[in-house]
Chains A and B, each alone.
Chain A
Amino acid sequence: MSAPPQAPDPQPALIELQDASRSVRLPDDSLLTILAGVNLTVQSGEHIGIVGRSGTGKSTLLNLLGLLDRPSDGAMLWAGTPVQRLSGRAAARIRGRDIGFVFQQFNLLPGRTALENVAAPLLYATGREFRRRKDIAAAMLDRLGLGHRLDELPTNLSGGEQQRVAIARALVRGPRVVLADEPTGALDVETGRMVMGMLDEATRESGSALITITHDPAIAMMAGRRFRLAGGRLHPGEAGHPGGSLHPAACGNAGVANAEEGA
């Protein structure tokens, strides 16, 4: 239920959910609880995998972690600051600067080239970051092996390439945490594994925390810590691979282990 004990650290955790719940009021005035009593601590640079089937509250958890929503009960701290105290503008600023999103459907902006897509978050930056947005975006795409595809439109890119553009976009402002929502859901197994490896490696290089929410236990297994989301509650899963390396064998084992766990 709760995160494993942490070594004493003077720095506050990056994200901390303390008995956080999220419920919504239905038209008939009854209360529907989507998440209940969630405890989770995310430290800087940590990789976490959360597995859950559809309807278990994955989106809601993603909303909370991405500062797109607030818990209705309990507390959530962002770098030690209760999110309830953050204004919408402050939350948006943190989201732009410190949080990168990777989505299942890539969600590249249509009609914009790969370079324009990666430069898009930098339109919300200021100063040098804004002025040099194209150079920064080009460098990030180059880092993900797409230096030769800068001017391609998303429609001319393969699924794997599109997701790499999306990863470049998520990382371009050097976020403190990357939230990946079913990042391999729209890719075949092989491409998904390759893309996930890139995401894993890129976040490790940049020191960003990575929280992957997926229904695929094999993907979740890559994380240092993993959890299982069921019925709106977060259950600690088995320890993953501390190195977070994506070894096919490890993925296979993880898949089996989780299948058993799920059953």
Chain B
Amino acid sequence: MITSFAAACVEAWQELRIHKLRVLLSLIGVGVAVCALTVVVALGDMMSQGLRETFERESGRPATYTMEVFFETAASPGYTAVRTAADEALERSGIRYASVNSPTSIDDAVPADGGIAAGTGMESFELGAFTQVFVVDPDYAVIHRQRVTAGRWFTAEDAQNLSPPIVVDQLFLDRRGLSAAQLPVTTELPGSGGMTATIIGVGPAPYASDQPAMFLLSQTAAQVPELAANLEYVSLEMWLPEEISEELAQQVAADVARALPDAEVSVWRTDYAAWGEDPVALGGLRTALLGISGLILLLGALGLMNIALVTIQQRIREIGIRRSFGATGGRIFFSVMMESVVATAVAGGVGVLAAMLILKSPRVTAELERVVMDAPPFPLSAALLGLVVSVGVGALAGLVPAVLATRVRIVDAIRS
């Protein structure tokens, strides 16, 4: 058995060595087809992945629930009391990830008289400029896939810092003439009337906007009068296991309602997949892309089979000669298949490499980043698909010639 396999490899290698031109043609045809297929699939995956990440940054990972606690008829016992009741309920239900998510926008205009200290790079401030403020907890980064490009995100201990930590976007830094290299750096906390804060990290804002963005911890916000007003209405996000999310969410809400009898507590799912449909499945676009890929592949396979069939006609005599040496039909079948598969596997590898180079070229990356926030990495699944498909095409395209080869009438073939 091992000898047969080794011998078939020797035969396939001799065949490939002798028919370099045919191998090259196969390489070109299949390589181009696999490259096209891999590019299309990878592009689709990268778009999906990019969109998914964008959605997740905006609305949270599935399943994210938002619980709102507010007091319509009675006075609020204050953010801390509400948060304590909520944290106890979360702990009882074993929920690990929860964060306040209270976005607001504050007027961060430079007074017309230039009241802000000169010499701090405030020249770029404009009248009527707003800053987006995201009041969060450290778990926000997990729930929303929030990341930092420089510095770091919040930790639980940051709430104790004397100088409140904030994470800002690049625009925020630019407006203040700061750079990420200076982190951590102290700045005035917008809307606080003169409080200072320490910028500990830089990361993208949840929404693309021309307003600078800033994240700060809910404990910090509770101490700033202008921002604390925003917390009277507590909006807490929870990241829950999808299968039992609804039960868990209702359980937490009921617990909080019991602890705070005057409160109105409501909870509902708020992530992008809340309506059951996956908006990043790309729907018809994906089907169209797959259809085009299929056609490309079919053309590649047909070209390959064409070459293989023509070659078999030329090789019938050779196959007859091999049969006269004692090659069984099975052995001939295996040899012809093997040549086809070996050639297409090599071609597929080249095609996948070419696809990677294309998708990672600066021009394509720049185009991609116009659609999604960051171009995701080349999907491994697309590379694997390209390779599997190339081997599959080799096997399929080799099948017909291989079957024909086994049916050769030996002496007729030899005398042809």
- A-to-B contact residues, CB < 8 Å: 59, 62-63, 66, 68-69, 88-89, 92-97, 101, 103, 105, 107, 109-112, 116, 120-121, 123-127, 130
Contacts and interface: CB of A to CB of B under 8 A. Distances in A.
Interface string B317-334: 110011111111111000
Given A92-B328, A96-B327, A120 B322 contact: yes
A88 B7 CA distance: 20
A21 B328 CA distance: 25
A62 B325 CA distance: 15
7 contacts: A68-B324, A107-B317, A107-B321, A110-B318, A120-B322, A123-B7, A130-B6
Given A109-B318, A116-B14, A124-B7, A63 B326 contact: no
B299 interface: no
Given A112-B14, A116-B14, A123-B11, A101 B324 contact: yes
Contacts of A62: 411
Contacts of B330: 89
A124 B411 contact: no
A111 B18 contact: yes
A112 B18 contact: yes
B415 interface: yes
B318 to A, nearest CB: 6
Interface of B: 3, 6-7, 10-11, 14, 17-19, 317-318, 321-331, 410-411, 414-415
Contact of A95 (B7, B19, B324, B331): B324
Contacts of B18: 110-112
B410 A68 contact: yes
Given A103-B414, A110-B18, A88 B318 contact: no
Contacts of A120: 322, 325
The interface residues of chain B, by DSSP majority, are classed as: helix
B326 A97 contact: yes
B315 to A, nearest CB: 9
Given A105-B415, A111-B14, A130-B6, 19 more contacts: A59-B415, A62-B411, A63-B410, A63-B411, A66-B324, A69-B411, A89-B328, A92-B328, A94-B326, A95-B324, A96-B325, A103-B414, A107-B414, A110-B18, A110-B318, A111-B17, A123-B7, A130-B3, A130-B7
Nearest to A59: B411
Contact of B326 (A59, A69, A110, A124): A124
B411 A96 contact: no
A96 B10 CA distance: 18
Lowest 7 CB-CB distances: which A-B pairs, in order? A96-B326, A111-B18, A121-B325, A123-B7, A92-B328, A95-B326, A124-B326
